[in-house]
Amino acid sequence: MEALQFFVVSSFSAALAIAIAAFGCGIGQGMGLKAAVEGIARNPESSGKVTVTMLIGLAMIESLCIYALVIALILIYAHPQAAAIAGLLG
Amino acid sequence: MEALQFFVVSSFSAALAIAIAAFGCGIGQGMGLKAAVEGIARNPESSGKVTVTMLIGLAMIESLCIYALVIALILIYAHPQAAAIAGLLG
Amino acid sequence: MEALQFFVVSSFSAALAIAIAAFGCGIGQGMGLKAAVEGIARNPESSGKVTVTMLIGLAMIESLCIYALVIALILIYAHPQAAAIAGLLG
Amino acid sequence: MEALQFFVVSSFSAALAIAIAAFGCGIGQGMGLKAAVEGIARNPESSGKVTVTMLIGLAMIESLCIYALVIALILIYAHPQAAAIAGLLG
Amino acid sequence: MEALQFFVVSSFSAALAIAIAAFGCGIGQGMGLKAAVEGIARNPESSGKVTVTMLIGLAMIESLCIYALVIALILIYAHPQAAAIAGLLG
Amino acid sequence: MEALQFFVVSSFSAALAIAIAAFGCGIGQGMGLKAAVEGIARNPESSGKVTVTMLIGLAMIESLCIYALVIALILIYAHPQAAAIAGLLG
Amino acid sequence: MEALQFFVVSSFSAALAIAIAAFGCGIGQGMGLKAAVEGIARNPESSGKVTVTMLIGLAMIESLCIYALVIALILIYAHPQAAAIAGLLG
Amino acid sequence: MEALQFFVVSSFSAALAIAIAAFGCGIGQGMGLKAAVEGIARNPESSGKVTVTMLIGLAMIESLCIYALVIALILIYAHPQAAAIAGLLG
Amino acid sequence: MEALQFFVVSSFSAALAIAIAAFGCGIGQGMGLKAAVEGIARNPESSGKVTVTMLIGLAMIESLCIYALVIALILIYAHPQAAAIAGLLG
Amino acid sequence: MEALQFFVVSSFSAALAIAIAAFGCGIGQGMGLKAAVEGIARNPESSGKVTVTMLIGLAMIESLCIYALVIALILIYAHPQAAAIAGLLG
Amino acid sequence: MEALQFFVVSSFSAALAIAIAAFGCGIGQGMGLKAAVEGIARNPESSGKVTVTMLIGLAMIESLCIYALVIALILIYAHPQAAAIAGLLG
Amino acid sequence: MEALQFFVVSSFSAALAIAIAAFGCGIGQGMGLKAAVEGIARNPESSGKVTVTMLIGLAMIESLCIYALVIALILIYAHPQAAAIAGLLG
Amino acid sequence: MEALQFFVVSSFSAALAIAIAAFGCGIGQGMGLKAAVEGIARNPESSGKVTVTMLIGLAMIESLCIYALVIALILIYAHPQAAAIAGLLG
Amino acid sequence: MEALQFFVVSSFSAALAIAIAAFGCGIGQGMGLKAAVEGIARNPESSGKVTVTMLIGLAMIESLCIYALVIALILIYAHPQAAAIAGLLG
């Protein structure tokens, strides 16, 4: 049944999307976190400002990963043709 | 049914596009964030200007990822031939 | 039986998702941890603030990996078409 | 139907083009942003000139990504043979 | 027999998941360990705080690898469809 | 129809050409931009000369990407055999 | 005989799992060891504390590799379906 | 028709040639540009000599990319067998 | 004969396992050795402690490679199903 | 027609040869150019000697790329069997 | 004849094993050698101790490569099933 | 005709050989050139000796690439079986 | 004839083995040589000791490559089954 | 004709062997050359000793590449089975 192949590839794509995005954003957030922690250790008085800036930046990077999460969830739960294709299943 | 293959590959392409773009932009934003946080920790008085510049830069990088998100959403929801091909499904 | 292939690929996707995400986030957390530990060794008095910031950052990175874990668990336990496809098995 | 394959590969190419370009340009812009933010933190008075130069540079890099976006959109919406091939569909 | 292929791919996925995750987390923990050891050698009096922070961080990274281990064990011992598919074997 | 395959591969080639070129040139321009911005921040009085040199260099790198864009557009709009092959379509 | 393929892929997976994990953990332990040895050479009096910390860290990394070893041994000696599949052999 | 395959692969080769060459030369020119800009910022009086040397070097690197462009254009417009093969088309 | 394929893949897996593990552990031990030798050259009096620590570390890394060697030897000499499969050979 | 395949692969090989060679030599020349420009900026009086040495080096690297160009042109225009194989075409 | 394939893959595996192991261990030994030579040049009086430590380390790394050599020789000369399989040859 | 395939693969091999060798040697020569140019800029009086040494080194690296060129030319013009195989062509 | 395939793969394996080993050991020896030459330039009086140590190290690395050469020569000239398989040729 | 395939793969292997070896040894020699040239520029009086040591090292690396060249020439001109296989050609 070819219709099944749609769900097979959707699952794989969803997994790939979130995995690759998490890989890159994980490294990106690690770079930001590294600098923030180094900075606070050197200059503890800047702690407030550094933490705020770090959180803004981490949130920006998090958003990139969430785009991929959204695409992954759309592929699993809400693809516009999914209902039609599921109808072909049985 | 070949028509199904169109939706299969569209799903995979959408996932790939957002994943790779998020990977690269995540690292790019991480580099910017790292420098901003280091800078604020060294020189907390520059915090305002640094944050503004960082936000401009992060927004520029975010835009690259949003281009990919737009292409991904077009492939899922708004491909010009999607309606015609969906008609071939059943 | 094609229906079986769905579970085969789901298993593989789940494994791939968590593996790649853990790879990237593991390196990202390692970068954060490295900076935190260096900082505390240089300036032990900043230990409290550094640890708090590090934990916030590690939690942000952990969340990326947990997104992938969630997708992996959905693919194994809760894919919306899984019941229908399992019905095709026997 | 072979005609369908044209739209399948166009979609994949469009996604690949924007994804790879966004990856590279994201890292490139991150390098520029990093230097700009470091510079402003070290020498806040240069902030005006640095921001202007950074914006020129980011715009040049953005243009590279927009070339890829244009090619991607051409492949989806405006390929010169698309109409003829769509006519082969049904 | 296709049912066998399910166990074949599950085994391979489990091995891949733990291998890739161990690779990345091993490098991540190595980075943390490196910094901790350098720090203690430079400033032996900070040894207590550094070790505690290092252990927190290593545990966070370990958790990423354990997610992959859990997925691997689920694929081998507790996949929800495993019983049904094993019934197809003989 | 084999004639269709020509347009399929042309589209893919055009996308690949601009994507890979944009990747490399994006990183190259990022390196130039990084140095320019650092230089201006350190020595704001050199701003004029630095910006001019940077623009010359960015233009040289941009030209490399435009070669690829030209090839991509030739492949889509102006391949010498395209008309003959399009005649084979219907 | 398909049943044989199960043991073929299990063997390959076991080898791959331990190989990739040993690769990554070997590099990770190398990083920890490098720092420990450098530290002792610079400050021989810290030798006791450094060695203890290094051993804790190496053990954590070793544990990652042992997870992979366990999965590899399960795949060779103790896969839950192995007996049933071996029964299919002859 | 096999004759068509010649034009298909020529197109792909032309795109690949210019893309990979642009990638490498873009990074190479970026390295040269980076050093030139840094140099002028540090020592604005050397601006004339630096710009001249940079232009010589960029031109040498540009020439490498132009070799690839020439090969790409030969493959599209002037391959010695192209006429004979085009004759096989219809 | 499929039974032969089991020994073919076992041989390949054994070779791959020891090769990849030796690659990674070789680099890891190289990093440890490098630091030890640098340390002794800088501070020859620390030679005893450094050598002992280095040997502990090298032994830990060696153990990772020996896990892979053990798996390789099991695959060649002691796979639990090997006897049964060898019986299928002739 | 197999004879056609010869020209197809020759074209692809020629493109690949010049592309990969241009990639590597472009980076190599970039490294030389970078050092020359840095040197002149630091010590403008050495400009003559530096430029001469740089030109000798760039020419040596250029020669490597020209070897590849020569092979590429031989493959397109002057392969010793090309005439015989072209005779097989029609 | 399938029996031949066993010797074909054994040869390939043996070559791969020693090649990859030599690659990694060659780089690892290079790192150790580099540090030893640098150390002796800086502090020629430490030459004896440094050389001894270097030789211990190089021997440890050499052992990793020798494990791979042993596996390679077993695959060529002493695989337990080789005699049985050679009997299938003619 | 299989005989043709010999010339097809020879062409591809020749192109690959010179391309990969030029890539690596181009980077190697770039490293040598970079150091020579830096050295002359720092110490113009050493220019004679540096240039001589650089030329010896570049010639050694050039020789590696010429080995590959020789193999490439042998494959195109002077393979010992080429005449016999060409005789099979027509 | 399958027997021929044995010699085909042996040739390929031999070439691969020596190529990959030479790659890695070439870089490893380059690292050792680099340090030796730097050391002698800084401290010419240590020249004797440094050269001896370098030669010991280079010989160790050379030995790794010679292992691969030996395996390659065994595969070409002295594989234990080669005579038997050659007998199958004609 | 299968016999032809032997010469096809031999040619490809010879090209691959020399190409990969030249790549790695080119970079290795580049590292040695770089250090030698830097050293002479810093300390021109050490020129004699440095050049001698560099030549010994470059010769060692050259030997690695020559091993690969020898294997490549054996595969083209002197493979022990070549005569027998050539006899199968016509």
CB G68, CB G17: distance < 8 Å: yes
Distance from CA of C58 to the nearest CA of E (A): 7
Question: What does residue C89 show for φ and ψ, rounded to 5 degrees?
Answer: -65, -50
ipTM: 0.90
Tokens of K64: 């990793």
Nearest CA-CA partner of L37 in J52, H37, J64, H42: J52
User: Looking at the domain assignment, is residue G2 inside a domain?
Assistant: no
Q: Is H79 left (phi over 0), alpha (psi -120 to 50) or beta?
A: beta
CB F7, CB D3: distance < 8 Å: no
The per-residue pLDDT of chain I, averaged, comes to 91
The per-residue pLDDT for A1 is 56
What is the rounded CA–CA span in Å between residue N15 and residue N7?
12
Look up residue J44 and give its DSSP letter: G
What is the rounded CA–CA span in Å between residue M55 and residue N57?
8
Tell me whether residues J68 and L22 touch, CB distance under 8 A: yes
Tokens of N28: 């290795």
Evaluated on CA atoms I22, I28, I30, I36, the torsion sign reads negative
pLDDT digits (tens, 9 = 90+) for I17-59: 999 999 999 999 999 999 999 999 999 999 999 999 999 999 9
SS3 L23: helix
Higher pLDDT, B14 or N3: B14
The per-residue pLDDT for B82 is 83
What's the first-to-final CA gap in chain I, in angstroms?
Answer: 9
What is the rounded CA–CA span in Å between residue F3 and residue C84?
41
Banded pLDDT at G1 (limits 50, 70, 90): low
The per-residue pLDDT for N32 is 95
The 10 Å CB-count burial string (b at 16+, else e) for B24-58 is: bbbbbbbbbbbbbbbbbbebbebbebbbebbbbbb
User: Looking at the domain assignment, is residue A3 inside a domain?
Assistant: no
Nearest CA-CA partner of I33 in N83, H36, K51: K51
Res. B89: pLDDT tops 70: yes
Banded pLDDT at H73 (limits 50, 70, 90): very high
> Smallest Cβ distance to A19: which of C21, C32, C80?
C21
Helices (H), E1-90: 2-42, 47-77, 82-87
Banded pLDDT at A31 (limits 50, 70, 90): very high
pLDDT digits (tens, 9 = 90+) for F54-69: 999 999 999 999 999 9
Q: What is the domain count for chain A?
A: 1
User: Looking at the domain assignment, is residue E4 inside a domain?
Assistant: no
Banded pLDDT at K56 (limits 50, 70, 90): very high
Average pLDDT over residues B73-79: 92
CB D34, CB B31: distance < 8 Å: yes
Tell me whether residues I37 and K42 touch, CB distance under 8 A: no
Res. C34: pLDDT tops 90: yes
**M51 CB near a chain N CB, below 8 Å?**
yes
The per-residue pLDDT of chain F, averaged, comes to 91
The per-residue pLDDT for L32 is 95
Res. H86: pLDDT tops 90: no
Cβ atoms within 10 A of the Cβ of L85, count?
A: 24
CB K32, CB K46: distance < 8 Å: no
Q: DSSP readout, B30-46?
A: HHHHHHHHHHHHH-GGG
Distance from CA of J13 to the nearest CA of L (A): 5
Average pLDDT over residues F9-18: 94
Tokens of A17: 């999307």
Q: Which residue has the tokens 């331990």?
A: G18
Q: What is the domain extent for residue L47?
A: 33-90
CB N58, CB M38: distance < 8 Å: no
Average pLDDT over residues H9-37: 95
Distance from CA of A71 to the nearest CA of C (A): 12
Res. N86: pLDDT tops 90: no
Percentage of chain L surpassing pLDDT 70?
98
The per-residue pLDDT of chain C, averaged, comes to 91
User: Looking at the domain assignment, is residue A4 inside a domain?
Assistant: no
Tokens of N69: 């060249």
The residues in N 3-32 lying below 8 A from L, measured between CB atoms, are 4-5, 7-9, 11-12, 14-16, 18-32
User: Looking at the domain assignment, is residue K5 inside a domain?
Assistant: no
The per-residue pLDDT for L31 is 96
What is the rounded CA–CA span in Å between residue D82 and residue N36?
60
pLDDT digits (tens, 9 = 90+) for D15-66: 999 999 999 999 999 999 999 999 999 999 989 999 999 999 999 999 999 9
Banded pLDDT at B5 (limits 50, 70, 90): confident
Res. L84: pLDDT tops 90: no
The per-residue pLDDT for G83 is 83
Look up residue H79 and give its DSSP letter: -
CB D47, CB B48: distance < 8 Å: no
Tell me whether residues F57 and H20 touch, CB distance under 8 A: no
The per-residue pLDDT for K66 is 96
| Cβ-proximal residues to F29 (8 Å cutoff; 6+ apart), any chain | D28, D32, D57, D60, D61, D64, F58, F61, F62, H26, H30
- Chain centroid offset of residue N52 CA: 22
**K86 CB near a chain I CB, below 8 Å?**
no
CA distances, C46 to each of A29, A31, A53, B42, G1 (Å): 22, 20, 19, 15, 65
Banded pLDDT at M90 (limits 50, 70, 90): low
Banded pLDDT at K1 (limits 50, 70, 90): low
Average pLDDT over residues J68-74: 95
Q: Which residues of chain E have pLDDT under 70?
A: 1, 90
User: Looking at the domain assignment, is residue F1 inside a domain?
Assistant: no
Burial grade of L83 (CB within 10 A; 0-12, 13-18, 19 or more): exposed
Q: How many residues does chain B have?
A: 90
The 10 Å CB-count burial string (b at 16+, else e) for A28-46 is: bbbbbbbbbbbbbbebbeb
Res. M87: pLDDT tops 70: yes
CB M26, CB N28: distance < 8 Å: yes
Tell me whether residues A44 and C39 touch, CB distance under 8 A: no
Element (H, E) at H41: helix H2-42
**L47 CB near a chain J CB, below 8 Å?**
yes
The per-residue pLDDT for L1 is 56
What is the rounded CA–CA span in Å between residue L52 and residue B20?
47
**M64 CB near a chain K CB, below 8 Å?**
yes
Tokens of B5: 């293959």
Mapped to the 3 state alphabet, what secondary structure does chain C carry? CHHHHHHHHHHHHHHHHHHHHHHHHHHHHHHHHHHHHHHHHHCHHHHHHHHHHHHHHHHHHHHHHHHHHHHHHHHHHCCCCHHHHHHCCC
User: Looking at the domain assignment, is residue G1 inside a domain?
Assistant: no
Which of the other chains make 3 or more beta carbon contacts under 8 angstroms with chain A?
B, C
Banded pLDDT at C28 (limits 50, 70, 90): very high
Which of the other chains make 3 or more beta carbon contacts under 8 angstroms with chain C?
A, E
Nearest CA-CA partner of J63 in J89, J25, J31, J90: J25
pLDDT digits (tens, 9 = 90+) for L27-71: 999 999 999 999 999 999 999 999 999 999 999 999 999 999 999
The per-residue pLDDT for G88 is 78
> Smallest Cβ distance to N6: which of M7, M22, M30?
M7
**K69 CB near a chain I CB, below 8 Å?**
no
| Cβ-proximal residues to H8 (8 Å cutoff; 6+ apart), any chain | F5, F6, F9, F10
Q: Comparing C45-59, G63-77, H2-16, J14-28, which segment has the lowest mean pLDDT? A: H2-16
Tokens of N38: 């830097």
Which chain L residues contact residue N34 at CB under 8 A? 31-32, 34-35
What is the rounded CA–CA span in Å between residue N14 and residue D5?
39
CB G38, CB I87: distance < 8 Å: no
The per-residue pLDDT for G50 is 93
CB G39, CB E42: distance < 8 Å: yes
The per-residue pLDDT for D90 is 61
Which chain F residues contact residue D10 at CB under 8 A? 8, 11
Tell me whether residues D2 and F7 touch, CB distance under 8 A: no
Q: Is C20 left (phi over 0), alpha (psi -120 to 50) or beta?
A: alpha
Cβ atoms within 10 A of the Cβ of N55, count?
A: 17
CB A10, CB A79: distance < 8 Å: yes
The per-residue pLDDT for N90 is 61
Res. C19: pLDDT tops 80: yes
Higher pLDDT, L71 or A2: L71
The per-residue pLDDT for M54 is 95
| Cβ-proximal residues to C36 (8 Å cutoff; 6+ apart), any chain | A37, A41, C50, C51, C53, C54, E53, E57
Task: Calculate helix-pair angle for H2-42, F47-77, nearest 10 degrees.
Answer: 180
CATH of the domain at B69: 1.20.20.10
What is the rounded CA–CA span in Å between residue L15 and residue G7?
42
Res. H90: pLDDT tops 70: no
Distance from CA of N20 to the nearest CA of M (A): 6
Which chain E residues contact residue C72 at CB under 8 A? 71
Tokens of I41: 């050259």
User: Looking at the domain assignment, is residue A2 inside a domain?
Assistant: no
CB L74, CB N72: distance < 8 Å: no
Higher pLDDT, B87 or K51: K51
